[in-house]
Amino acid sequence: MSVKTFFKHWPTILLGVVVTIVLLLAIVTYQVPQTEHAVLTTLGRIEPVSPEPGLHFKWPYPFQKVHYFDARTRCFDGNAGKLEETSTADGQNILIGTYVNYRIDDAKIFFKRLERIGEAEKQLNSWMRDARNAVIGRYAFNQLINTAPEKMMLRQIVAEIKERLAQTAAPFGLKIESVGINAINVPPAIGEEIFKRMIQDRKVVVQRFLSEGSAEASRIRTEADRQSAEILTDAEARAKTIRAEGDAEAAQHYEVFQQNPELAAFLRKLDSLRSIVRSRTTLILDTDAAPFDLLKPGAVNLK
């Protein structure tokens, strides 16, 4: 190629060089995002060092190949119908659904033993079933479903399922972040019996409350009767004291009346007359009867 021809086509030649360099870089480099793990293999053999996020160099395919895996937490709730039947320690059948949040913790082990997410979740489904059945089989039905929150053991059950699942998944490069129960149900055949038993339990509680109320009412009545008796006793004692004081004071006046019996009789008759005739009254009575004999002319003769 002559110099004149070169200068004539230099833009095309430069573009070709740039494209060639870009293609070479694409072949011999790879990018690892922050949200992913990467495993580098050389002729099918896993390299001992896992690439960090960023730009890296590699031999072109088929000498070296990069395998990418999502490093973020994934949620998996099983494949086989979501709800699965299992048995409690007291022989009750229930339908229960669980979910697990997991992530790839060691990409090299994961690639070596499971290779793909689909295979991992297939294994997780089996591990979840085994762990769930093993743990729930150790607890009674009323520890999963109960009207009394303090008797329920769901948190402990979930913690044990997570522990079992984490131990099983760790050798495969998976880390279990959390496990949860998203549904608990009962087969229709035993649902009616459960509701009947719950109604009976509620009746027992109601009867207990009624008995406690009756006992409390009886205690209140007994206490009220006791206080009433004490008040009456105190009142009677006080009345006797007042009567005694009145009798003592009256005795002093009786001594005065003994000195002049006629005056005493006169005063007693006046008191009786005041008691009988309190307002404007018309009486037709025999004036010979006391105390109306005072009304007779000359009846008052006091010495």
Where do the structural domains in the chain lie, given as residue ranges?
Answer: 3-70, 74-186, 190-259, 268-303
In sequence order, the 6+-apart residues with CB closer than 8 A to the CB of 167 are none
Query: Strand (E) positions, 5-77?
Result: 29-32, 36-42, 45-46, 54-57, 64-70, 74-76
**Separation CA 162–CA 169 (nearest Å):** 10
Half-sphere exposure of 129 (CA within 13 A, CB side): 15
8 Å CB contact between 157 and 136:
yes
Parallel, antiparallel, or unpaired: how do β-strands 36-42 and 45-46 relate? antiparallel
184 with 115: CB under 8 angstroms? no
**Spatial distance between the Cα atoms of 52 and 65, rounded to a whole number of angstroms:** 16
* Whole-angstrom distance, CA of residue 187 vs CA of residue 168: 30
What's the pLDDT at 158? 93
Mean per-residue pLDDT over the chain, rounded? 80
What CATH number has the domain spanning 74-186? 3.30.479.30
pLDDT digits (tens, 9 = 90+) for 109-120: 999 998 888 899
Residue scoring higher pLDDT (286 or 212): 212
pLDDT in tens, 32-81: 888 898 998 888 888 887 788 888 888 888 888 888 999 999 999 876 55
Strand partners, 99: 180
Instruction: Determine how many CB atoms are found less than 10 A away from the CB of residue 275.
Output: 9
β-bridge partners, 32: 54
Confidence of residue 291 (pLDDT cuts 50, 70, 90): low
Q: How far apart are CA 169 and CA 239, in angstroms?
A: 91
Residues 6+ apart with CB under 8 A from 147: 198, 201, 202
3 state SS of 73: coil
Mean pLDDT of 204-228: 86
| Burial 221-259, CB ≥16 within 10 A → b, else e | eeeeeeeeeeeeeeeeeeeeeeeeeeeeeeeeeeeeeee
- pTM for the complete prediction? 0.57
62 SS3 class: coil
